[in-house]
Amino acid sequence: MAESAVTKKLGANPTRKEILANWTPEDPVFWKKFGERIAKQNLYTSTWALVLAFVVWTLWATIAAKLNMAGFHFSDEQLFTLAALPGLVGATGRLFYTYLPGLIGGRNSAFITTALLLFPLFGLGRALQDPTTSYDTFVLLVSFIGIAGANFSASMANIGFFFPKAHKGLALGINAGIGNLGVSLIYLTAPLLLGWNLSSFFGPGVTTPSGMMYVQNVCYFWTVPTALTLVLIWMFMDNLPLPKQSPKSMLSIFGNKHTWLMCWIYTCGFGSFIGFSAALGLLVSKEFPEVSFSMAAFLGPFIGAGIRPVGGWLADRLNSGSKVTLVSLFIMLAASIVVLFGIQTHAFALFFGAFLLLFLTTGFINGASFRMIPYIFDNPFHASLVTGFTAAIAAYGAFLIPKIFGWSYTNFQSVAPAFYIIIAFTVVTILITYFFYARKGSGIKC
């Protein structure tokens, strides 16, 4: 392969700073000789930092169902509201975090946003040790922990610039998909931490009918990997020079209908994934109180997050994220109906099996729909902004789904109306995906 102008300019042994200053991943010679190694270092470090962010963001969902057992006295509406608040804060924070890499650099934004996680982890750990802590105090602390959810937009807006278009689907799928595994990781580790006597480090536990429980462990334990991750970010990530855009250029994405259409589609995928992850434990405790669910709660998020890179890879392989998304949406619709049927017939095996299928489809949708964006928006900077913005809007699912469940129980003493809303939303998403992107005459090949 002939040497390109960029690689000639860099010479045989350029410094890392020189390589970053001349970043041209679409140049195949530059990519193989210099770019790929650096891009992968940033991707792997960014992905682990994102795993940690998702651990912290959904940490409260693993505690909420145990709160009253630990000596607190909150109503169902209060518990579902607390479960929803991290989603509200995280989604809103994403609207701002999208712009951080362009303003202060990718490594700097990753370091700062990860360091901020230490404050709510310590604060909530202390509050959980005192059963007299007020509901209002928990509202503030649980809201603060929601900032972890905003890290996703900064991470995704940054990492896409490191890779050529042909590899973006897989790279974004790895960053987001493995990052999403943080949800599964906290569900897997929380039951162990709740029962692990670390009182010499994190304080005493409380006596419950099933034995001693150490709710503060779930918060305090994760301060250690958070601190270590800060070292990794500083060592292995880079501030890639990004094009400076005027506010007018940055705001131009909001006048494009495809920005809002992709927000709707991605909300159906990721909004469902994170919303169900936040509310599933409480939903099972309400509908199937006889089932010991804590050790199985990680399965759904694990499947949804683990399959996400496959969704991106499959979209790359078939050269059509829209078709992968459309097929997945039809399966999601069927799974949602079966979940509701399982609840109404009180058949846990049917309910949980359908829920696992539902999580599987969210993973395919998330990976494939993010691959669509760079093909809809030719400008890489606009594609990056749209990626971050759609991630922000979709994250409101972590707030809306628990709130809809709480509203449904409060007003109808049943969760069925909430699922009617979710099913209707999925039907509309199918129509949008088909008409604007998947049909032959749509005019957009993505």
Asked if the structure places residue 12 within a domain, the reply is no
Asked if the structure places residue 10 within a domain, the reply is no
Q: What is the pLDDT of residue 166?
A: 80
pLDDT band per the 50, 70, 90 thresholds, residue 200: confident
- Per residue in 120-168, pLDDT tens? 999 999 998 888 899 999 999 999 999 999 998 889 888 888 998 788 7
Asked if the structure places residue 230 within a domain, the reply is yes
pLDDT over 80 at 403, yes or no: yes
Asked if the structure places residue 17 within a domain, the reply is no
- Per residue in 337-378, pLDDT tens? 999 999 999 999 999 999 999 999 999 999 899 889 989 987
Of 271, 254, 356, 312, the closest CA to residue 43 belongs to 312
Half-sphere exposure of 244 (CA within 13 A, CB side): 2
Q: What's the mean pLDDT when you consider all of the chain?
A: 88
Asked if the structure places residue 2 within a domain, the reply is no
User: CA 264, 437, 392 angle in degrees (round to 5)?
Assistant: 25
- Whole-number Å distance between alpha carbons of 61 and 301: 12
For residues 198-211, average pLDDT: 75
Query: How many distinct structural domains can be found in the chain?
Result: 1
Asked if the structure places residue 3 within a domain, the reply is no
Asked if the structure places residue 324 within a domain, the reply is yes
Asked if the structure places residue 352 within a domain, the reply is yes
- Per residue in 420-444, pLDDT tens? 999 999 999 999 999 999 998 888 8
- Whole-number Å distance between alpha carbons of 353 and 355: 5
**Which residues, other chains included, contact 56 with Cβ-Cβ below 8 Å and sequence gap of 6+?**
117, 120, 121, 145, 148, 182, 222, 226
For residues 189-201, average pLDDT: 84
pLDDT over 70 at 207, yes or no: no
Q: Tell me, letter by letter, the H, E, C secondary structure of the chain.
A: CCCCHHHHHHCCCCCHHHHHHCCCCCCHHHHHHHHHHHHHHHHHHHHHHHHHHHHHHHHHHHHHCCCHHHCCCCCHHHHHHHHHHHHHHHHHHHHHHCCHHHHHCHHHHHHHHHHCCHHHHHHHHHHCCCCCCCHHHHHHHHHHHHHHHHHHHHHHHHHHHHCCHHHHHHHHHHHHHHHHHHHHHHHHHHHHHHHCCCHHHHCCCEEECCEEECCCHHHHCCHHHHHHHHHHHHHHCCCCCCCCCCHHHHHHHHHCHHHHHHHHHHHHHHHHHHHHHHHHHHHHHHHCCCCCCCCCCCHHHHHHHHHHHHHHHHHHHHCCHHHHHHHHHHHHHHHHHHHHHHHHCCCHHHHHHHHHHHHHHHHHHHHHHHHHHHHHCCCHHHHHHHHHHHHHHHCCHHHHHHHHHHHHHHHHCCCHHHHHHHHHHHHHHHHHHHHHHHCHHHCCCC
Q: What is the pLDDT of residue 381?
A: 76
Per-residue b or e along 92-118, where b marks 16 or more CB atoms closer than 10 Å to that residue's CB: bbbbebbbbbbeebbbbbbbebbebbe
Predicted structure pTM score: 0.81
The enclosing domain of 59 has a CATH number of 1.20.1250.20
Domain coverage including residue 326: 23-442
pLDDT band per the 50, 70, 90 thresholds, residue 258: very high
pLDDT band per the 50, 70, 90 thresholds, residue 249: low
